[in-house]
Structure 1
């Protein structure tokens, strides 16, 4: 591997949250090493100390970091779906209001005590702090510092590419370099190119309740119309104000609003049953 002498290289160290899963999936590890190598990043898995070392430019290392966290999540979901491991996760709210997973060991400790129905327990978190976990208030307490905590269970229907989150509904900005972003933009451009001025962002909406409803309908359509053309699945590009999009994200489409804000071609329903 050759390095550009004009670039400042850094070392980043990350904790292997699911080291056992990585050990059992050498092909995924090799794929990740190739991913890093193609971006001139040296990656070293230190399973003895449960660490990943990355050596590379700051930009490339950030990209490798994102792929590493995605890889761990993908392996976790795969093993949960195959019922090899439990799907319970415990989370704490970080200082920047994001939700972060506890380590596997801390999660196991919290879950063990949670199932005993006690009101609270004192244990060590991953920082080595002796904290109080209050199950009634769902809080982690360390001196005067209080963090909110959550318990979640990964649903087997959850798509493997979804981000793990303890929230029922969440919006994620897609990386413009990701395959998901490129696929959606290309599909949008085949129908709408020339009808918009610029692309700003693409967000993935993760709403498990609505996704389950969609999955049930999709299975019915596959049975009724066949797998050719994916059960007659189509993309719908729907323009609306921010206030309306927020309601759609939370509750789904409301067909009673069809045509309320005008129509360009004809009156249609949000879902066409082709009957």
Structure 2
């Protein structure tokens, strides 16, 4: 009886429902939290779709895991805030005479956050443990160890094509009018390689993804190469097409015909 009472007093179960923040957790964040729990002999049970989280273990360990959850949630919220801040902005440094190189996504967001916060300088350490200091006024960064300078640039041109429809969301699909020049131009291009290889065209949609269009445009502006843009048709399942619409082209979406180009 004494042992049973001791166990009851020592063991704790924490159960929470509908955690809206949990529904937005990324896989790396989930993996990190699970590892933290296992190291402290806490058994986690989570469902990110419903926002459910249950923790089982000693009272002290469960309390520590709860604190880690809120720490991860704060970190995730800050990451999401930074991504929104820098969604339509790209920072790059001059790699050589003709080429610019983009900063990594998270660093890009931190630089933009410092810039809009009116900071004069911003320090960071890259993935090679080299420390740099950015001077926003003079548009350059300095390697702290060698004192070498290199130019930086901020690109925030978010203009979209004039023929795009007015949209209320970042990503929207619009069915083209069969009598429009845009529709006929695309159909003519498609028929160059696909004539007599299909029965009918059900519809042609224009995908308006502001974020990806902005980043694509920025890539073109930073590239020293010219006239490299190509048009192609990519055959895939409807599920993969939906992923591409929202997340751009990604090799992980390749399926049974993911490598087929028409």
So what's the TM-score if we normalise by structure 2?
0.37
TM-score, length basis structure 1: 0.35
Structure of higher CA gyration radius: 2
